Amino acid sequence: MKCNCFRKSLFASVFLITLLLSSCGINSNGTSSSSTTSDSDTNTGGTTEPTDLTDSTSDSTTDLTTTEPTDTSSTDSSTDPVIEYTITFDSQGGTPVESITLPAGSYIFAPVPPTKIGYLFVNWFISLSSSTPYVFTTMPAESFTLYAKWSLVEYTITYVLNGGENANNPHSYTIETPTIMLLEPTKVENAFLGWYNNINLQGDSITKIEKGSTGNRIFYAKWSVNQYTISFNSNGGTDVSEITVDYNTSINAPPPPTKDDYRFVSWCFDESLTEVVEWPLIVTRSLRLHAAWNEKVNLKPYLVSLLDGYKLNPYSFIPETMQPASKIRNVNGLVNDYSSFVNVSDISYEGFGEQWQMVLDNLEQSLLFFNVLSVVEGVSSASIVAFNNYLDSNPSDSSHFEFEYGIYNVTINFENNVIFYILDYTTELPLLGEQVIQIYLSYNIVTLEKTGRIQLGSANALKYKSTKDHYEFAIKYLGVRRAYFEVSRNLDDSIEGRIFEYLGVDGVYSYGTSAQFYIDDDYVTTIGNKASGFPGFTGTVNELYKVSNGKLLGYAIKETLSFVTFNTYWFNLDDTTGINTIQIEEAPTTNLNPHYIYVNGSSNVFVAKKVGGLSAKTTSRRYDIELRKRYFYYEDEGEIKSLTIEAPMLFVQMEQIDTLSTDIVSSNSSVVTSFGLDISYSTMTKIKNDYDILLSSFVAQKDEFSAGDIIDIIGEPYAHTI
């Protein structure tokens, strides 16, 4: 190599000059090889100095003759041969490196490293098995070979996926890596078209990296979006062309088909025409849509039927004796003061209990909404005439009609076998002031089901459905009451119903109650958990009424207190014998009964016997007399209003009923000489069976509807989108 040749040439030149100087008697430091000494010095030999042959006293000058000094003590070194040694370089496949030849002891320098494609030069080593690099200093007195060692260059592979997800493709390789076959990535709803080495995705696609390749690589994924086709089954109508678009494309509805004697309604996903397509449609797969049609029908009689049948009386399922009108009384004639003795026969026991009253309260509130429907009567005739005229003038379009009549905006619509009638107006309402009102009525001409929705402002709404044998409604009233009510007539003409009621403020409905009722020819049974007269009540009440007179015959209660379950029967005092008069005083709060009870004119407090024995009920009362609420009605300037009084009732734990008479007499012998229950066997059996059979059904269903569920049923006012 160039640098080695230069060093060898320099070495040779220095060596030659040294020989010449030595032959002339000059040392390498530039001085003579012999020295002149003083006369007193002796010649130590080796070299004789030239002798001055001229007379020192002579005035003349003569030529000086010199003799070549002769070294008699040394041998001429130029006669010895120079031994050189060689370092040979094995590049192990790299570029060749010229060897270095120099005498021993000569300074040597590492040659320029070789190169090798795909590798990085590590160093020179004395052997391939050596791990210690060779250090270049001076030439040793031997020839040898140095071996190059290499490390592989690791090249990066970058994948530009353009939204896809890579497969298990490697991210690096070396020149020795076996041929890499590039795997296909994936992308949702796209087909992979290949890997490309340029961002413009042009040229041939790349499928592999051959063994022996070098260099960093960047591969770009090329995709094509999947396409899907929407086809249309017109179900006998005119043809509609297919629509083919890329995945996730939004499309609008095509122009509707036509069909003689039918009106196009909608496109549906299913052949049963139950899943209606909403447009615009986001296309994510191929679909075949199916046309739904309405046969053009004579709507005139159906509108008449709707407007003639909108009136609904929710009390049509309820016996007259169980309606408020049957309990209208003279307020002054109702006993509600027991501070002095009152004859038991004078006590007002005909009123309703709390469970049935909850049913009546919600029916009464629904009537407030139904009273608003009276405006329909004034508009219906004009609506029928206007709609008939419209149909006669527009026989090809009978689906939608609007007009104004005084303060009322009237909308009539027909779709999917249902005719709709909507009134929008603003008026003043008693207690509520000016309100925006919407009345929505619909009638299914196939099922004959009628639906109504009445919106009074924003805080009051009712939605109902009715058929011949079923009625249900959901109501929100004044922002504090939410209720759902339903009643059905069975094949044997018996009636079943249930109600769910929530009371609260500002949308927080923490107080919820419910009830179920069953009506046959003889009895009305009501099971519920509403008991505002029972402080802290958490149990269930089963009330039994006689249909013939609407009188509460008695009830059974199940309640768990401190992990102890109490089962009690409750009876009116006028259904007992042995207690003729009663007086009641308030008792201290420490008393189990909040009142002191006096009977039969005695000043002695009526004694309630304890259960006794060893059980969880030891200190509880076997029986006692307590006040319970009863509900009546009265007329006030033509308006029927409710009135609550309290009436004394006798309770007995079910386990103690067989000894009730003897227990009362033994504990109150000075006051009650005999006692008995004047309850028929059939009535007692009915109370017991209802308690045993119906109570579990009530418990299972009492939380079926939440306040939120009721709001969902009510829904929103009809939105005029046409």
Q: What is the DSSP code string of 329-344?
A: --GGGS----SS-EEG
Tokens of 655: 């386990």
Whether 196 has a pLDDT exceeding 60, the answer reads yes
pLDDT at position 638 is 81
236, 264 in Cβ contact below 8 A? no
Report residue 21 CA to chain centroid gap. 103
Whether 383 has a pLDDT exceeding 70, the answer reads no
Indicate whether 508 pLDDT > 80.
no
Task: Say which residue the tokens 């107080």 belong to.
Answer: 511
The pLDDT of 441-453, averaged and rounded, is 82
DSSP string, 641-675: EEEEEEEEEEEEEGGGGGGHHHHHHHHSTTT-S--
Query: Which residue type does 377 have?
Result: E
The tokens 């629509």 sit on which residue?
A: 243
E-strand stretches of 457-539? 460-467, 470-477, 481-489, 495-505, 508-519, 523-528
Average pLDDT (133-157) is: 96
Report yes or no: 346 and 335 within 8 Å, Cβ to Cβ.
Answer: yes
Residue 429's pLDDT is 67
Looking at residue 610, the DSSP 8-state letter turns out to be B
Q: Are 135 and 111 in contact (CB under 8 A)?
A: no
Q: Residue 309 has what DSSP assignment?
A: S
Q: Strands 581-586, 460-467: parallel, antiparallel or unpaired by DSSP?
A: unpaired
Stretch among 15-24, 251-260, 262-271, 528-537 having the lowest mean pLDDT: 15-24
641: nearest Cα among 360, 346, 429, 350: 360
204-208, 292-296, 408-412, 469-473 — most confident range = 204-208
Query: Angle formed by the axes of helices 300-308 and 374-393, to 10°?
Result: 180
Which residue reads 């046959």 in tokens?
Answer: 520
Closest CA to 695 of 552, 537, 542: 542
Q: Is the pLDDT of residue 28 over 60?
A: no
Alpha-carbon distance of 567 to 646, in angstroms, equals: 22
Domains defined along the chain, listed by start? 155-225 (2.60.40), 227-295 (2.60.40.4270), 320-358+487-704 (no CATH)
Tell me if 338 sits within 8 A of 506, measured CB to CB.
no
pLDDT score of 384: 62
For residue 177, give the nearest of 158, 192, 156, 206 by alpha carbon: 156
Q: Is the pLDDT of residue 320 over 90?
A: yes
Rounded to whole angstroms, how far apart are CA atoms 117 and 95? Answer: 10
Q: How many CB atoms lie within 10 A of CB 149?
A: 15
pLDDT at 299 over 60: no
When comparing pLDDT for 630 and 502, which is higher?
A: 630
Whole-number Å distance between alpha carbons of 607 and 719: 66
Q: List pLDDT tens digits, range 542-563.
A: 999 999 999 999 999 998 888 8
DSSP state of 498: E
pLDDT of residue 594: 93
Q: What pLDDT score does 13 carry?
A: 41
Q: What is the rounded CA–CA span in Å between residue 573 and residue 575? A: 5
| Closest listed residue to residue 450, CA positions, set 376, 343, 535 | 376
Six-digit token string for 428: 């003043």
70-129 tens-digit pLDDT: 443 444 445 678 899 999 999 999 999 999 999 999 999 999 999 999 999 999 999 999
Note if the bond before 280 is cis, omega within 30 degrees: yes
Question: At 45, is the pLDDT very low, low, confident or very high (cuts 50, 70, 90)?
Answer: very low
CA 359 to chain centre: 37
Distance CA 97, CA 90 (A): 8
Alpha helices in 240-373 (DSSP H): 300-308, 354-372
Q: Quote the Cα angle for 530-536-541, to 5°.
A: 35
Q: Is 712 helix (H, G, I), strand (E, B) or coil?
A: helix
The DSSP annotation for 136-185 comes to: --B--SS-EEEEEEEEEPPEEEEEE-TT-B--S--SEE-TTSPPEEPPP-
Report the distance separating Cα 620 and Cα 676, nearest Å: 22
- 403-427 confidence digits (pLDDT tens): 676 777 888 777 777 878 888 888 7
- Locate 376 and state its tokens: 């329909």
Over residues 675-720, the pLDDT tens digits come to: 999 999 999 999 999 999 998 888 888 888 888 888 899 888 887 7
Distance CA 669, CA 689 (A): 33
pLDDT in tens, 246-274: 999 999 999 999 988 777 888 999 998 88
What angle, rounded to 10 degrees, do the helices at 374-393 and 354-372 form?
A: 40
Q: 328 or 44: which carries more pLDDT confidence? A: 328
Q: How high is the pLDDT of residue 654?
A: 95
- Percentage of the residues of the chain whose pLDDT score is greater than 70: 79
CA distance 138 to 106: 5
Label residue 369 by pLDDT band (50, 70, 90).
confident
Query: Could you say which DSSP state residue 82 is in?
Result: P
- Is residue 623 pLDDT above 60, yes or no? yes
Comparing 55-59, 121-125, 655-659, the range with the smallest average pLDDT is: 55-59
Q: What is the DSSP string of 381-398?
A: HHHHHHHHHHHHH-TT--
pLDDT (0 to 100) of residue 170: 96
Buried b (16+ CB within 10 A) or exposed e, 321-352: bbbbeebebeeeebbbebeebbebeebbbbbb
What distance in Å separates the CA atoms of residue 183 and residue 186, rounded to the nearest whole number?
Answer: 10
- In this structure, the dihedral spanned by the alpha carbons of residues 413, 414, 415 and 418, taken in order and rounded to 10 degrees, is 110
What 3-state class would DSSP assign to 376? helix
Output the pLDDT for position 243.
95
Token pair listed for 179: 């041929």
Q: Which tokens hold the place of 298?
A: 């004579």
Q: Is the peptide bond before 133 cis (omega within 30 degrees of 0)?
A: no
Hey, CA dihedral for 715, 720, 721, 722, is it positive or negative? positive
SS3 453: strand
Given a cut of 70, whether residue 27 has pLDDT beyond it is no
In the chain, the percentage of residues whose pLDDT exceeds 90 is 54
Q: Are 420 and 717 in contact (CB under 8 A)?
A: no
Question: If you count them, how many residues does the chain have?
Answer: 722
pLDDT in the model for residue 18: 40
- 8 Å CB contact between 686 and 460: no
Q: Which range among 299-308, 453-462, 558-567 has the greatest average pLDDT? A: 558-567
Task: Give me the residues paired with residue 709 across strands.
Answer: none
Nearest-angstrom CA–CA distance, 384 and 412: 10
Give the list of residues 6+ apart from residue 712 with CB closer than 8 angstroms, or none: none
Return the pLDDT at 430: 64
**Band of pLDDT at residue 488, cut at 50, 70 and 90:** very high
Q: What's the mean pLDDT when you consider all of the chain?
A: 82
Cβ 476 vs Cβ 711: under 8 Å: yes
Residue 279, helix vs strand vs coil: coil
Mean pLDDT of 314-328: 90
What average pLDDT does the segment 462-488 reach?
85
At 333-352, the pLDDT tens digits run 899 999 999 999 999 999 99
Question: What is the CB neighbour count within 10 angstroms for residue 554?
Answer: 24
- Rg of the chain over CA atoms, in angstroms? 58
**How far is Cα of residue 287 from the mean position of the Cα atoms in its chain?**
28
What the block records as the tokens of 25 is: 């008697």
Residue 257 burial (CB count, 10 A) = 19
Residue among 214, 96, 236, 228 at smallest CA distance from 157: 214
pLDDT at 6: 38
pLDDT band at 26 (very low <50, low <70, confident <90, very high): very low
The helix or strand, by DSSP H or E, that contains position 420, with its residue range, turns out to be strand 418-429
Q: What are the residue ranges of helices labelled H in 551-705?
A: 660-667, 681-701
Give the model confidence (pLDDT) of 598-608 as tens digits. Answer: 999 999 999 99
